[in-house]
Amino acid sequence: MLAGRRVLLVIGGGIAAYKSLDLIRRLRERGAAVVPVLTRAAEEFVTPLSVGALAGQKVYRALFDLTDEAEMGHIQLSRTADLVVVAPATADLMAKMAGGQADDLASTLLLATDKRVLIAPAMNVRMWNHPATQRNLATLAADGILRVGPNDGDMACGEYGPGRMAEPLEIVAAIEAALGQGPLAGRHVLLTSGPTHEPIDPVRYIANRSSGAQGAALGAALAALGARVTFVTGPAAVPPPAGVTVVKVETAAQMLTAVQAALPADAAVFAAAVADWRVANAAASKMKKDGSGRAPALVFAENPDILATVSRLVEGRPRLVVGFAAETDDVLANATAKRLRKGCDWIVANDVRPATGIMGGVENEVTLVTADGAETWPRLAKDEVARRLAARIAGALA
Ligand code: C5P
């Protein structure tokens, strides 16, 4: 519930602005007061009349509106809220925020506020992927700006990929989390993600095809429910999510050390694709061909099983331990056996045969194996799998 909470909602000029109307409704249903601010571009997409009617509030628009300055100056306006939310946060608004520009009411409020700011980016996939936007994003993250989304999906412009604004209920969850109110508020969740790299020599390594996408989506979903997330990640292809504590590692051994250092946790989720073996005779210098035609022989040693190690802890075992199982055959039978063998509570199993396109792809089809049996979920975007799983974790810890 958000009763008595005040949200200053900056609506940027993008097609996703229509979703902000629904966001206002959802926030008010939960008891929040919403003070809307429209940029000039936003008025091309939604009208001040509809925004004001839904918010039941005056809509703030121009910086040099003398009446407003007399009633409530822009500095005061930026400080009376409990949280400032920017939805949609366009590429332009993000650039202004990152650069500290203040040339209209929205950007001035964002520079003047002493409250936390949550952005819900929305833009075309190429604009999102552009190095300038990614630079701005990194700057905003370093400035402590919170973020929800964007999601992958079909976009209004006809393209597919990251850039769709998070759905209103996801933004509500992120707002609740930012205000310390999600169902996982006060809980610590430890999450591993990505592949590991096991060195052969200083320049070569053994890796796997895990992109880290499912782990990153899960980290975002857990944080959106208010969890404090420690995100231990191998060298993944996708960036870590906003709002989590990131610990970067390379090898399985380093991952185990980082996991042990992050405990205690209420729940631990092992989404990383950890190499089962490391090279025991890794060379200290780069291996070279010696002209004899003989190939070097690598000797493998088994890596520690991080999931099994944490599952079997006698003292300090997280209340819920979840493993993943990437299988190419007999998914259910293997996952069921794996749950017992590793001693974890749940296994999230998926079929990673190349034909499924799951490893490195944007969708996932999982079977959740618990002590009560197995349930197979439909094929869903990894973001959606993450949200469902995070909700189940919240339910288990409730
Ligand atoms: O045995 P398998 O590698 O299929 O098990 C997968 C699960 O175990 C995943 O949750 C993975 O993160 C975890 N695991 C681990 N440490 C290892 C190998 C796997 O934590 N050395």
What is the tens place of the pLDDT at every residue in 285-316?
999 998 898 999 999 999 999 999 999 999 99
Q: Do domains 6-178 and 188-285+292-397 have the same CATH topology?
A: yes
- Residue 241: closest CA among 223, 254, 259: 223
Q: Which of the two residues, 143 and 48, has the higher pLDDT score?
A: 48
Please tell me the distance between residue 231's alpha carbon and the centre of ligand 1 in angstroms. 16
Residue 240 has pLDDT above 60, yes or no: yes
Please tell me the distance between residue 309's alpha carbon and the centre of ligand 1 in angstroms. 10
Please tell me the distance between residue 95's alpha carbon and the centre of ligand 1 in angstroms. 40
Give 52-106 pLDDT, tens digit per residue.
Answer: 999 999 999 876 665 666 556 778 888 888 999 999 999 999 999 999 999 999 9
Q: What lines the ligand 1 site, CB under 6 Å?
A: 192, 252, 270, 272, 274, 276, 303-307, 323-325
Per-residue burial over 214-229, b = 16 or more CB atoms within 10 Å of its CB, e = otherwise: bbbbbbbbbbbbbbbb
Q: 241 is written with which tokens? A: 């999510």
Ligand 1 atom at minimal distance to the Cα of residue 306 = 20
- pLDDT computed for residue 79 by the predictor: 84
Rounded to a whole number of angstroms, the distance between the first and last alpha carbons of the chain is 16
Q: What are phi and psi of 83, to 5 degrees?
A: -155, 140
Which helix (H) or strand (E) segment holds residue 111: the answer is helix 105-112
Regarding the domain delimited by 6-178, which CATH topology (the fold level of the hierarchy) does it fall under?
A: Rossmann fold (3.40.50)
Query: Is-catalytic flag, 344?
Result: no
What angle in degrees, to the nearest 10, is found between the helix axes of 382-397 and 213-224? 50
Classify strands 346-351 and 151-154 as parallel, antiparallel or unpaired. unpaired
The whole-number average pLDDT for the span 2-21 is 95
Residue 233 has pLDDT above 90, yes or no: yes
Would you kindly state where each structural domain of the chain is located, as residue ranges? Answer: 6-178, 188-285+292-397
Ligand 1 atom at minimal distance to the Cα of residue 309 = 20
Ligand 1 atom at minimal distance to the Cα of residue 342 = 8
Give 132-167 pLDDT, tens digit per residue.
Answer: 999 999 999 878 899 999 998 877 777 888 899 999
Distance of CA 36 to the CA centre of its chain: 26
Strand partners, 346: 322
- pLDDT computed for residue 389 by the predictor: 97
pTM of the model: 0.74
Residue nearest to atom 6 of ligand 1 (CA): 325
Determine if residue 125 is left, alpha or beta; phi over 0 gives left, psi from -120 to 50 gives alpha, anything else beta: alpha
Q: Give the active site residue among 1, 53, 157, 203.
A: 157
Residue nearest to atom 21 of ligand 1 (CA): 305
Please tell me the distance between residue 301's alpha carbon and the centre of ligand 1 in angstroms. 15
The CATH-assigned architecture of domain 188-285+292-397 is 3-Layer(aba) Sandwich (3.40)
